[in-house]
């Protein structure tokens, strides 16, 4: 739950209602809860005191899992990266914060629509797909709608801990077409056979967090494992911003050096599309 779901519950209680319909999975479905003088009763029998619900409302940048009648922040510290991972609510699908930085676009859009924009940029998606950075799994989940198989790689266990508690990420663990690998994408891609993917979606963390995933050597590996006529969508960020212009120039140059003959700017998806010719 998050403040988006809890605020209407508190408003209904203050208005004297004894029950209401609300979402208990961040907007995916709705359920009925009972409103009592001292607490709200959830469908599974758990009870949350009104003070506990106020705690959720007061924490607008994190989602909560309800365990043993207590709201617990969906937040994990990674000793591997020395970063704090947490689930941040939006009006639609939540995003993941890494040390306070959102991993999806949330200005004038939402994480689900952001993902769909990336998928449209690289479409049509079919055959075998590589997703180089799992995160919350939204890209892998959408790609699996039309792909035969999606291989998705995540380096940090803390990210998967957050994803497991995110209702919007459950297909990442349930869809048999999605195969998760816990590894460093830079190392893992070297183990794949030549021409083994029809499509690659490369949505790495920002350059300062994962510079090797922007390197010429990594791009050469992506070119090697991509089939002829295959495509790589590379998320960069706002191409028209000063940082986006700077990063995209280097990205395009290194992609060309790696062998990609055609590279198309896709500003609506905040990235570029690189083609491997026959």
pLDDT of residue 277: 87
- At 211 the pLDDT is 84
Comparing C-alpha atoms, which of 129, 114, 225 is closest to residue 178? Answer: 129
Dihedral over Cα of 92, 94, 95, 100: its sign? positive
pLDDT value, residue 123: 96
In angstroms, rounded to a whole number, what is the distance separating the alpha carbons of residues 87 and 85?
A: 7
Per-residue pLDDT of the chain (278 residues; tens, 9 = 90+): 999 999 999 999 999 999 999 999 999 999 999 999 999 999 999 999 999 999 999 999 999 999 999 999 999 999 988 999 999 999 999 999 998 899 998 988 999 999 999 999 999 999 999 999 999 999 999 999 999 999 999 999 999 999 999 999 999 999 999 999 999 999 999 999 999 999 999 999 877 777 899 999 999 999 999 999 999 999 999 999 998 899 999 999 999 999 998 999 999 999 999 999 87
The answer to whether the CB of 98 falls within 8 A of the CB of 84 is yes
0.85 exceeded by pTM:
yes
Query: Which among 161, 110, 108, 109 is positioned nearest to 137, based on CA atoms?
Result: 161
CATH superfamily name and code, 111-275 = Vaccinia Virus protein VP39 (3.40.50.150)
Instruction: Please tell me the predicted confidence (pLDDT) of residue 209.
Output: 75
Buried b (16+ CB within 10 A) or exposed e, 245-265: eebbeebbebbeebebeebee
| H or E element at residue 199 | strand 197-202
Domain locations along the chain: 3-72, 111-275
What pLDDT is recorded for position 97? 95
User: What pLDDT score was predicted for residue 243?
Assistant: 87
């Amino acid at each position: 739950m998050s403040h988006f779901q809890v605020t209407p519950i508190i408003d209904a209680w203050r208005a004297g209602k004894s029950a209401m319909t609300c979402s208990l999975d961040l907007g995916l479905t709705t359920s009925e809860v009972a409103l009592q003088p001292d607490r709200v009763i959830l469908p599974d029998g758990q009870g949350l005191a009104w003070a506990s619900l106020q705690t959720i409302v007061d924490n607008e940048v994190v989602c909560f899992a309800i365990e043993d009648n207590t709201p617990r922040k969906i937040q994990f510290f990674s000793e591997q990266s020395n970063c704090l991972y947490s689930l941040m609510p939006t009006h639609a699908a939540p995003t993941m914060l890494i040390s306070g930085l959102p991993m999806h676009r949330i200005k004038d859009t939402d994480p689900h629509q952001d993902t769909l924009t990336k998928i449209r940029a690289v479409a049509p998606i079919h055959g075998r797909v590589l997703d180089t950075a799992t995160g919350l799994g939204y890209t892998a989940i959408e790609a699996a709608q039309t792909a035969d198989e999606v291989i998705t790689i995540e380096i940090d266990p803390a990210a998967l801990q957050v994803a497991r508690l995110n209702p919007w990420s459950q297909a990442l663990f349930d869809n048999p077409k999605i195969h998760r690998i816990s590894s460093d994408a830079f190392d893992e891609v070297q183990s794949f056979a030549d021409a083994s993917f029809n499509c690659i979606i490369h949505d790495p963390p920002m350059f300062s967090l994962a510079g090797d995933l922007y390197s010429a050597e990594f791009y050469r590996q992506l070119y090697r494992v991509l089939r002829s006529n295959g495509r790589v969508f590379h998320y960069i960020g706002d191409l028209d911003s000063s940082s986006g212009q700077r990063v995209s120039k280097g990205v395009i140059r290194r992609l060309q050096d790696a062998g990609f003959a055609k590279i198309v700017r896709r500003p609506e998806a905040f990235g570029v599309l690189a083609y491997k010719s026959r």
